[in-house]
């Protein structure tokens, strides 16, 4: 597709379950970001991938969160043992190169933890 | 600590008027500045980028950058109800890939 694709668009899960969120960036975009946005709040940086370089994981809130990017394209964000405070919209963005702020966002994955 | 500040609003502007959105940032080493628009329930979309002092115009939108005073503004001329959204300011410090985001200003255009 032409844009950043995220799935699922909506996920409801029970506390303690694991969830996986997927992001397929724009073709040719080497940089990929994951952000989290809670209701009415700003963007919280989670993790950054650039090509084959080691990812910047400095924004991951706890060791329950992990992410990988296979083949420099699709990325998966995994949240283990979900908690209610994990409820938020998880946004993926990609960009053509490093040190630009021209990000293209997916529509997000809304996670609700009951 | 690198920070980007925006007035959270809401900023209410009558239709057809100029909407002025402001953003200040903490680091003089900042390189690049971006305005994103986020409609309620949607994801952010880039509307303007500015890299050097002065004004940059794109249709009804004008971005203004003043590095000496460490602020960047977004002007929306002939405001339309469809401009009602939250506007996010983002700053790229030291040519780093990491963007620092403001919390956003909610803009309401009243018909």
**Residue B100: both structure tokens together:** 């620092």
Task: Tell if the CB–CB gap between A102 and B46 is shorter than 8 Å.
Answer: yes
Mean pLDDT of all residues in A26-47:
92
**Residue A52: both structure tokens together:** 């084959």
pLDDT tens column, B54-84: 999 999 999 999 999 999 999 999 999 999 9
Band of pLDDT at residue A26, cut at 50, 70 and 90 = very high
pLDDT of residue B39: 97
CB-nearest to B43 from A41, A99, A107 is A107
The answer, for A7 touching chain B at a CB cutoff of 8 Å, is no
Residue of B nearest to A88 (CA): B41
Mean pLDDT of all residues in A3-25:
97
pLDDT of residue A99: 56
**Residue A107: both structure tokens together:** 């529509």
Question: Is the distance from CB of B28 to CB of B38 less than 8 angstroms?
Answer: no
Question: What is the percent of chain A with per-residue pLDDT over 90, rounded to a whole number?
Answer: 79
pLDDT of residue A36: 97
Question: Is the distance from CB of B18 to CB of B75 less than 8 angstroms?
Answer: yes
Mean pLDDT of all residues in A56-69:
95
CB-nearest to B34 from A43, A45, A101 is A101
pLDDT tens column, B8-33: 899 999 999 999 999 999 987 778 99
**Rounded CA separation B111/B109 (Å):** 7
List Cα–Cα distances, A20 to A54, B86, B99, in angstroms.
21, 29, 25
Task: Tell if the CB–CB gap between A91 and B44 is shorter than 8 Å.
Answer: yes
For A:56-85, CB contacts with B below 8 A are 56
Q: Which of B101, B96, B92, B85 is nearest to B40 (CA)?
A: B85
Question: Is the distance from CB of A76 to CB of A21 less than 8 angstroms?
Answer: yes
Pairing of strands B54-58, B61-66: antiparallel
Question: Is the distance from CB of B11 to CB of B106 less than 8 angstroms?
Answer: yes
The answer, for B40 touching chain A at a CB cutoff of 8 Å, is no
CB-nearest to A50 from B34, B97, B102 is B97
Question: Is the distance from CB of B101 to CB of B5 less than 8 angstroms?
Answer: no
Task: Tell if the CB–CB gap between A105 and B43 is shorter than 8 Å.
Answer: yes
């Amino acid at each position: 597709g032409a844009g950043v694709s995220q799935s699922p668009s909506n996920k409801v899960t029970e506390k303690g379950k694991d969830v996986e969120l997927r992001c397929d960036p724009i073709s040719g975009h080497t940089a990929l970001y994951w952000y989290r946005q809670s209701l009415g709040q700003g963007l919280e940086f989670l993790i950054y991938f650039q090509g084959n370089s080691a990812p910047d994981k400095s924004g991951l809130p706890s060791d329950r969160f992990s992410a990988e990017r296979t083949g420099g394209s699709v990325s998966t964000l995994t949240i283990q043992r979900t908690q209610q405070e994990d409820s938020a919209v998880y946004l993926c963005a990609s960009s053509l190169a490093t040190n630009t702020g021209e990000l293209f966002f997916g529509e997000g994955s809304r996670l609700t933890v009951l | 600590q690198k920070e980007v500040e925006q007035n959270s609003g809401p900023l209410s502007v009558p239709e057809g008027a100029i909407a002025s959105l402001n953003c200040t940032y903490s680091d003089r080493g900042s390189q690049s500045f971006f305005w994103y628009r986020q409609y309620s329930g949607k994801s952010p979309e880039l509307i303007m980028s500015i890299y050097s002092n002065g004004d940059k115009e794109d249709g009804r939108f004008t971005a203004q950058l003043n590095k000496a005073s460490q602020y960047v503004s977004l002007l929306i001329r002939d405001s339309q109800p469809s401009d009602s959204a939250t506007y996010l300011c983002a700053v790229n410090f030291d040519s780093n890939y990491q963007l620092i985001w403001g919390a956003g200003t909610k803009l309401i255009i009243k018909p």
